[in-house]
Amino acid sequence: MRHFLKETDLSAAEISAVFAQAAALKAARGRATASDLARQSWGLMFFKKSTRTRVSFQVGVHELGGLPVMLNADDLQLSRGETVADTAKVLSRYLHGMVIRCHEHALLEEFARCGTMPVVNALSDFLHPCQFMTDMFTLAERYAPGRPEQYAASLKGRKIAFLGDTACNMANSFVLGGAALGAEIALAGPAGYEPGAEVRAQLKADGLKETFTFTTDAAAAVKGADMVYTDVWVSMGMEAEKAERLKLMQPYQVNAKLMALAKPSAYFMHCLPAHPGEEVSADVLASPQSIIFDQAENRLHVQKAILAHLAAHRG
Ligand code: CP
């Protein structure tokens, strides 16, 4: 059984294949009917709020010929104490795959271990691999236009600056996925926000060399970058730390002065939702360098390719 819980659950060859399939699905959207999930039903289970992920997966399963079954975790017996193991076993009798957004990454792993269907990580407190794959696809569309077979290779050696909360799930995804794709990840955030032991252990477990650096100096990280990325300073579940984080992360706001240190051709990216005036200035968000809405659109195409890939490779 194949799952997509983390960036390294796909090999380098599979990432290339998924990018190529995403490009083909994007080009064919509205003109061709895909049937990769025909007569299949996929559960979409959310323990946290979502706009992009929820809608892009629901539309994506539908466009691949399947039935998306929306599951609000609060409405399930899981919220009244039924175990993850029993829930996974029962839902595997009805569904052909699961997409889950949750807090603890361990829940995804347990669900994948106990169920008998593919599981996709739609964000955990540890990683956000669907967003990472989409972000890399969105960049590669620009680096290798019209050559999807070159998308993964076009990312090798690129300098990606990630600013702000450098210990969040999105930063972890860049640390792990960046190593898998050979990109240079320059993290800049407050002292104490270095990538944690969990992501370093995952790199080691996957036999990957670290390709990230961490600094408290925002300008040093952005200098010469091909792309500058940020995420909200207060991730879901971190609301109690809001005041402290807003103060600590102020020097890492992506603004025009900081963007001027990146390459003139550099792109600005953000997984959204954005908080203009906090992690990014309003002018950078709206600037020609900003490709945030292409990122958001590509969630649909890339996730469709991931779902089709898992459906085609299930045991
Ligand atoms: N970027 C992202 O995952 O967006 P949502 O939280 O709206 O799904």
Q: Residue 283 falls within a domain, yes or no?
A: yes
Together in a domain, 216 and 138: yes
| 3 Cα–ligand 1 center, Å | 20
| pLDDT of the residue at 34 | 87
Tell me how many domains the chain contains: 2
Q: Is the CB of 51 under 6 A from ligand 1?
A: yes
Together in a domain, 14 and 140: no
Would you write out the chain's pLDDT as a tens digit for each of its 315 residues? 899 999 999 999 999 999 999 999 999 998 888 899 999 999 999 999 999 999 999 999 999 999 999 999 999 999 999 999 999 999 999 999 999 999 999 999 999 999 999 999 999 999 999 999 999 999 999 999 999 999 999 999 999 999 999 999 999 999 999 999 999 999 999 999 999 999 999 999 999 999 999 999 999 999 999 999 999 999 888 899 999 999 999 999 999 999 999 999 999 999 999 999 999 999 999 999 999 999 999 999 999 999 999 999 986
Q: Is the CB of 272 under 6 A from ligand 1?
A: yes
Task: Name which residue sits closest to atom 6 of ligand 1, judged by CA.
Answer: 50
| 66 Cα–ligand 1 center, Å | 22
Q: Residue 1 falls within a domain, yes or no?
A: no
Together in a domain, 237 and 282: yes
| 100 Cα–ligand 1 center, Å | 13
Q: Residue 2 falls within a domain, yes or no?
A: no
Together in a domain, 158 and 198: yes
Mutational pocket test of ligand 1: of 99, 101, 127, 271, the residue with most ligand atoms within 8 Å of the beta carbon? 271
| pLDDT of the residue at 315 | 67
Beta-strand runs (E) in the chain: 41-46, 67-72, 97-101, 119-121, 159-163, 184-188, 212-215, 227-230, 267-270
How would you list the strands of the sheet with 97-101, edge to edge?
67-72, 41-46, 97-101, 119-121
| pLDDT of the residue at 314 | 84
Q: Is the CB of 53 under 6 A from ligand 1?
A: yes
Tell me the residue range of the domain where 11 lies: 7-127+296-312
Continuous segment of H or E residues that includes residue 256: helix 256-259
